[in-house]
Structure 1
Amino acid sequence: MHFSPVSLPKALGTLFLCGFMAAACATNLPSGVTQGPSIEGTTQYSLQNGLKVLLTPDDSKPTTIVNMTYLVGSRLESRGETGMAHLLEHMLFRGSPTVRDPWAEFSKRGLRANGSTNEDRTDFFASFAADPQTLKWYLDWQADAMVNSLISRKDLDSEMPVVRNEMEAGENSPFKMLLQKMQAAAYMWHGYGKATIGARSDVENVDIKQLRKFYHLYYQPDNAVLIVSGKFDPASTLDVIASAFGKIPKPQRALPPEYTVEPVQDGERKVVVRRHGGNPLVAALFHIPQAGSPDYVPFDLGADIISDT
């Protein structure tokens, strides 16, 4: 290969400049924070304790949105534990020794906050008018909730009527009951066959010690993803995240391995639910590739098109 006399020095100068800029960027990161890939405005960071952070700044928005997602859902519940993932979603809002009444604090600061649970994850989210102090408070609360939530018998008893109401709302919905029966028929062995809300007997007789054990096992930084989007300053937000979450030690425990693989379905399965009253319902359920597959999005889009027409 032929180089002109000036090509190599220019190339070296460019490499030096790029290396200098990368080093400068790395130097500006808070201690213990590592920067990962950046794709379409979203940049990934990691803390030494395993917490993954995704920042998506957008100054055109008037609000900031924070999601704390724990990679635990109903599929990881063992026999007798059904409903635990959903119960813990409720219990984190019952407070800690530091923040005894999170809902009152949310209201005081104008936060719209809530949580949700499905088979794969438990998510806590909040949106609020962009404000650095409100963002700092909420991130501090999330870090506190990760390790200091009380999970007390008294709070569980107080929260149980709320959980029962959700359970009864599902039981009174013909569509939700049909979907639950179809899901159970679709998965003979895998945890996806269980309803996220759990079995009433498991939920009402839950052992508080087992619930705390479930919490300490899965509510850890190496099993969580923190997402901040909307209007905020990335540099100062990273400082807050490093300060709030960096002090949480990396857990020494290992998450239980998952062995169960659902066998390939060997024929059509049919579910018939007969109930008094209500409108007749017909539904179809199909196994599709996992979310990481390139075929997933077309399937998901196709389902939306069919169901909305």
Structure 2
Amino acid sequence: MPELPEKYNHLLGSGAQYSMILVEPGVFVMGDNQSEYDDEKPEHLVEITRPFYMGKYPVTQAVWRAVMQNHNPSGFVGDHRPVEQVSWQDIVEGGQDDSVPEAFLDRLNRVFPSQMPGYHFRLPTEAEWEYAAKGGHKTALSSEQIQLFLKNSQATAANLYTTFAGSDQLKEVGWYSQNSHRETKHVEQKQPNELGLFDMSGNVEEWCLDWNDDGFYAKCKEQGVVQDPLNAKEGRHRVARGGSWFYGAVNCRVSYRHHWDPPLRYDNIGFRLVLAPVQ
């Protein structure tokens, strides 16, 4: 298999483009046993087995408009701000109402297909999102660390990763309730994390592919090292990660889990794309 480029810029109409960064396979500790929230427990080992590209920043309004024929639902208007007021259904399924008759991902993959053979655009799984937020392959566990975790099941996430995506100080990497002036901000204005990803803590929450299940982590831990987990069991809510301009710091941590009804549109929820091998 030929070596993949570290960066991928996907060109769209009207001069818009979406920049993505390669995330290589690796094992990481998902969750946080020191959290006050039970749904972040127990910590468990996850192996991401295939390389994928993660959006360098949330999907912007310029990207959404280029794909969706100049439609822009956002409340805080600006080409370089994240698109918001988009539901999970708008992104993945379409047809929620006449404003978004065709899903964003369907149009993107059909009208502006990937130039990477065998790869297509989709939402990240919750595990892919957290792996990338925690630094991806830049902070992946060694074989010795994996064996130590399996033997002792120690609470290690707090010692391995920064609290937020790229820093223990949220003001350095994210827009949240204390510095956002109650609005979204242009992407790429704060510091990136280890992979070079921006705005993974704060600005807008980001939809993920999974159904929410507060007990999913316990099921994963039973497997020792779970590979590429995805909670596909239908429930009521879909997962959203990363916190937003609206929330306090505790909600912007890399391990924090949130969830919403799939048809919900709100001005602090957007999304980020991955480009991944077609399954």
Q: Which TM-score band (shorter chain)? A: under 0.3
More helix by share: 1
Higher gyration radius (CA): 1
TM superposition score normalised by structure 2: 0.26
